[in-house]
């Protein structure tokens, strides 16, 4: 059964990603897909038992779900956002997914993977807003203004 995910008004997380449709990806999200992901991560409790992104996708595919990696990542994100499912994840060479095992691991994950990046993004937003008029006088990029910033 397909799900109807509730997004805040104007929610377009990937609207600027060329060649990727958030709505199309979300159309493949079902309760059954979420359960397939949960079945996999139940065997990966705690950071020390991480499953790589590739292995997770392979395990979900082995259960009969052929969604691409990006849709599976988006599904996990939506599971966290809408249901609070404690699936942690990290990128990088040794990245992957796991279920949070205790309060300390939860706090560490929330701080490093969610809070710190959110603060960084808000700081970037503030800085771009403050500098926009210098870079783009009259709401349009000025090459002379851009060159004077270097």
Q: Which run of H or of E encompasses 97?
A: strand 96-99
Q: How many CA within 13 A on the CB side of residue 107?
A: 3
Note the pLDDT tens digit of each residue in 118-140. Answer: 999 999 999 998 888 788 877 77
Query: How far is the CA of 141 from the CAs of 131, 135, 150, in angstroms?
Result: 12, 6, 15
Q: What is the CATH number of domain 22-101?
A: 1.10.10.10
The pTM of the full predicted model, rounded to 2 decimals, is 0.73
Rounded-to-integer distance, Cα 75 and Cα 139, Å: 37
Has residue 63 got a pLDDT over 80? yes
Lowest mean pLDDT among 2-6, 35-39, 72-76, 141-145: 2-6
At 99, is the secondary structure helix, strand, or coil?
strand
Note the pLDDT tens digit of each residue in 8-49. Answer: 444 455 555 666 666 666 666 789 999 999 999 999 999 999
């Amino acid at each position: 059964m397909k799900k109807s995910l509730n997004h805040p008004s104007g929610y377009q997380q990937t609207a600027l990603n060329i060649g990727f449709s958030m709505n199309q990806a979300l159309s493949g999200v079902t309760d059954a897909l979420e359960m397939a992901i949960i079945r996999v991560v139940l065997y990966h409790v705690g950071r020390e038992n991480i499953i790589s992104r590739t292995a997770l996708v392979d395990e979900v595919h082995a259960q009969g779900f052929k969604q691409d990696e990006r849709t599976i990542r988006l599904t996990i994100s939506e599971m966290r956002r809408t249901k609070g499912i404690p699936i942690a994840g990290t990128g990088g060479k040794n990245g992957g997914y796991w279920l949070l095992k205790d309060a300390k691991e939860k706090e560490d994950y929330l701080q490093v993977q969610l809070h710190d990046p959110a603060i960084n993004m808000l700081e970037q937003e503030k800085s771009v807003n403050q500098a926009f008029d210098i870079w783009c006088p009259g709401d349009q990029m000025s090459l002379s203004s851009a060159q004077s910033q270097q």
